[in-house]
Amino acid sequence: MMGIANVSSPEVFVLLGFSARPSLESILFIVVLGFYVVSILGNGIIILVSCMDVHLHTPMYFFLANLSFLDISFTTSIVPQLLVNLWGPQKTISYGGCVVQFYISHWLGATECVFLAVMSYDRYAAVCRPLNYTVIMHPQLCLSLALASWLGGLTTSMVGSTLTMLLPLCGNNRIDHFFCEMPLIMQLTCVDTSLNEVEMYVASFIFVVLPLGLILVSYGHIAWAVMKIRSTEGRRKAFNTCSSHVAVVALFYGSIIFMYLQPAKSNSHEQGKFIALFYTVITPMLNPLIYTLRNKDVKTALRHIVLEKCCGFAGPWGHI
C-alpha cells in the first residue's frame, strides 16, 4: 500500500474552491481577510483577559480560553491558504501542505466538539449544583477534561487522517473545495474505501453525535432546574449564565447539521462551500463577540486591563 501511495500521490493538489465564480473571489478575499483579523483579535483578547485578570481564573474562563486558542488555530490552518488561492490565479497546495491541513483541521474540529460538551457540563454544574460547583469543577478535573479533549481529537485525527493518507490517489489531484478535507481526499482514490468510511462514521458518532447528545442532556437538566426557580431575577441570572454557550453551540452544530442535510446535487455542493466558509471563518469570529457582548465579567476585565495595565490608571472604576 505504501509503495502504491508513494508512486501515485500527486506533488500538488488543485483546490478549485470558488474558481467557478471568479468575479466573487476578490470580494471573498476582502471579507475573509476582515473576518480572520477580527477572529484573531477577538479570540486573542479573550485569552489575554482570562490569563491576566484573577477574577476570571475560574473553570468557565479556563475552558473559554482553550476554545479561543482552538478557534485561532483552526482558522489559521485553513484561512491563509484560502486567501492565497482567492488572491491569485494559482489554486494549488503542496501534497505535504494538504496532508498537514487535513490532519490539523480534523484534530481541532473533533476537539471543539468535545470542548463544547465539556463546557455544557460546566454550565450544568454551575446552574444545577451551585453550592458544590467549586468542589465538582476543581482545577485537577478541569485540566483533565481539557487534556482529554485535546488528546481525544488528536487520536481520531491520527487514525483517520493516516488511513486516508495511505490511500493511493492514482494521479487525481483536483479537490472541489477551498481546503483539504478528509472525505474529499477519499473521493480521489481509485481503491475501495470501506475501512476508511467505517472509521469516519465511528469517529463522527463518538466526536460529533455523542458530544451533542451530552450537550442536550446537560441543557435538559438546566432547563428543568430553571423552571423550578420562582424569582424572575434568578431565572434571568441562570439564563445569562448559559445563553452565550447555547449561541455558540447553535452556530457550530447548526452549520454542520445543515451542511450534511443538503441533497447530493451539484448546486447543493456549491452551497456546502459557503456553509463550510461559515463554520471555518465566521463562527470563530462570532464566538468572542458573543462571549464579550453578553458577558459583563469579560467587559469589566478588559476595561480594567486597558485602564490599569496599558494606560497606567488605577482606581475603583477598574472594577466597576
Burial class from Cβ neighbours inside 10 Å (0-12, 13-18, 19+) for residue 140 reads exposed
Of all residues in the chain, the percent with pLDDT exceeding 70 is: 88
pLDDT of residue 229: 82
Side chain identity at 119, as an amino acid letter? Answer: M
C-alpha–C-alpha distance, residues 33 and 47, integer Å: 21
**High-pLDDT (> 90) share of the chain, %:** 41
Q: Which residues lie below 8 Å from residue 29, measured CB to CB, with a gap of 6+?
A: 83, 86, 87
More confident residue, 291 or 76: 76
Cell numbers standing for residue 224: 428543568
Q: Are 165 and 99 in contact (CB under 8 A)?
A: yes
pLDDT over 50 (residue 6): no
pLDDT, average across residues 235-264: 79
19: β partners: none
Any idea which residue has 490539523 for its cell?
104
Instruction: Provide the pLDDT for residue 212.
Output: 93
What pLDDT does residue 59 have? 93
The pair phi, psi for residue 237, each rounded to 5°, is -65, -40
**pTM for the complete prediction?**
0.87
Question: 33 to each of 16, 117, 149, how far by Cα in Å?
Answer: 19, 30, 29
Contacts of 293 (CB under 8 A, 6+ apart): none
pLDDT digits (tens, 9 = 90+) for 195-241: 888 988 999 899 999 999 999 999 999 989 888 888 877 788 777 77
What pLDDT is attached to residue 2?
40
Task: Tell me the pLDDT tens digit for each residue of 41-80.
Answer: 999 989 988 888 888 889 999 999 999 999 999 999 999 9
pLDDT, tens digit (0-9, with 9 covering 90-100), for 135-154: 999 999 999 999 999 999 99
The SS3 of residue 137 is coil
Phi, psi (rounded to 5 degrees) for 14:
-100, 115
95: which 3 cell numbers?
501534497
Closest to 207 (Cα-Cα) out of 284, 140, 155: 155
Return mean pLDDT, the chain.
Answer: 85
| Helix axes 59-76 and 95-128, enclosed angle (nearest 10) | 160
- Do you know the residue count of the chain? 320
Rounded Cα distance, 165 and 155, in Å:
15
Higher pLDDT, 264 or 178: 178
Domains for the chain: give ranges and CATH numbers: 12-293 (1.20.1070.10)
- Cα angle, residue 258 at apex, residues 104 and 32 outer, rounded to 5°: 55
